[in-house]
C-alpha cells in the first residue's frame, strides 16, 4: 500500500490516503484503498476512520480519462472505485470520513460510503463531473440523494458547484464541522468511542436501513425483523440486556 498509510490505534483502523498533491484517484490508489479496507475487516478492528493527507481526495486523475477514449471501458476507474465505495459502505463496523481540503468527484463518492462525514471548516465537497460533460459514476447520483434529498442532490450534481463545510452541515452531508487542526483527532476519538459499543448491533442498523431503502414498508419491516432476530442472538445483546437489568454498565465485546 504505497499510496495509503494504514495504521491501527487500539480497536480503530486509520486509512490515510497519501498521493500528493491532492490524492487524485488512479488505479493504484484505488487498489491500495481496497487493500486497506480488507485489512480493516479484521474483527479486532471495531471502527474505521478514512482520511487524506492535506486533501481527502480531489477526484479522479483526469489525465487517465484521455486514455479511456480509446478503451472498451469508457471510464475504467469508475467500476473499481464503485466497488471500493461499496466495500466501505458494507464494513460491519462504524466508519467516519474525515474530510480536509477537497473531496470532489470520486473523492466525495468515497466519503459517501462512510457512515459519518466530519469536515474541516475550510473543506469543500462537490460532484463536478458535469463540468467535464459526464456524470458521477461510482454511486454519487444515488448515495448523495439518499443523504441530502432528491432535489438538493440534483442541484449539486447538475451545477457541479463546490459546497463549503457550513452548507454541507445544513444539508446533513456533514455530521460535524471542526477546526482543521482538530479534525483528525476528534474523528479518531469518536471512532474509539464507537469501538467500545455493540459492533454487531451497529452492523444490524446499517444492514436494516441500507437493505430496506427502496422497499415497500412491509418489505423493509421484514428485513428489519430478520436482522433483529440475528442480532438478538449475539453475545453483546445478552451482555447489554443483562447489564440493564442489573443496573450495570455493559462491556461489549463486539460479538
Q: Which residue among 9, 75, 129, 226 is the active-site one?
A: 129
What is the dihedral sign for C-alpha 64, 66, 71, 76?
positive
Peptide bond preceding 21 in cis form (omega within 30 of 0): yes
Quickly count: other Cβ atoms within 10 Å of residue 237's Cβ.
18
Whether 189 is catalytic is: no
Q: Which residue among 9, 75, 109, 248 is the active-site one?
A: 109
Q: What is the DSSP string of 69-95?
A: TTSSSS-HHHHHHHHHHHHHHT-SS-E
**230-to-24, 102, 251 alpha-carbon distances in Å:** 40, 39, 20
Task: Give the residue carrying C-alpha cell 428485513.
Answer: 223
Whether 89 is catalytic is: no
In terms of Cβ atoms closer than 10 Å to its own Cβ (0-12, 13-18, 19+), residue 143 is: buried
Helices (H), the chain: 27-40, 63-68, 76-89, 106-112, 140-148, 150-159, 165-170, 183-194, 199-212, 217-232, 235-245
**Residues with catalytic function:** 109, 129
Amino acid at each position: 500500500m504505497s499510496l495509503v498509510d494504514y495504521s491501527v490505534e487500539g480497536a480503530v483502523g486509520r486509512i490515510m490516503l497519501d498521493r500528493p498533491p491532492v490524492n487524485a484517484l488512479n488505479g493504484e490508489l484505488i487498489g491500495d484503498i481496497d487493500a486497506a479496507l480488507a485489512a480493516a475487516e479484521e474483527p479486532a478492528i471495531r471502527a474505521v476512520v478514512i482520511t487524506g493527507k492535506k486533501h481527502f481526495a480531489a477526484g479522479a486523475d483526469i489525465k487517465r480519462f484521455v486514455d479511456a477514449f480509446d478503451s472498451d471501458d469508457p471510464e475504467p476507474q469508475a467500476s473499481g472505485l464503485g466497488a471500493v465505495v461499496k466495500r466501505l459502505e458494507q464494513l460491519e463496523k462504524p466508519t467516519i470520513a474525515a474530510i480536509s481540503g477537497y473531496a470532489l468527484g470520486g473523492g466525495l463518492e468515497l466519503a459517501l460510503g462512510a457512515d459519518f462525514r466530519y469536515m474541516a471548516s475550510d473543506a469543500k465537497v462537490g460532484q463536478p463531473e458535469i463540468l467535464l460533460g459526464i456524470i458521477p459514476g461510482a454511486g454519487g447520483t444515488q448515495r448523495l440523494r439518499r443523504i441530502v434529498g432528491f432535489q438538493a442532490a440534483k442541484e449539486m450534481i447538475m451545477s457541479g458547484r463546490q459546497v463549503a463545510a457550513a452548507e454541507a452541515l445544513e444539508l446533513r452531508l456533514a455530521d460535524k464541522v471542526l477546526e482543521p487542526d482538530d479534525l483528525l483527532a476528534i474523528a479518531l476519538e469518536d471512532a474509539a468511542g464507537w469501538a467500545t459499543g455493540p459492533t454487531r448491533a451497529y452492523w444490524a442498523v446499517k444492514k436494516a436501513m441500507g437493505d430496506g431503502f427502496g422497499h415497500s414498508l412491509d418489505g423493509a419491516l421484514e428485513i428489519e425483523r430478520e436482522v433483529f432476530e440475528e442480532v438478538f442472538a449475539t453475545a453483546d445483546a445478552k451482555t447489554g440486556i443483562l447489564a440493564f437489568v442489573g443496573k450495570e454498565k455493559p462491556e461489549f465485546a463486539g460479538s
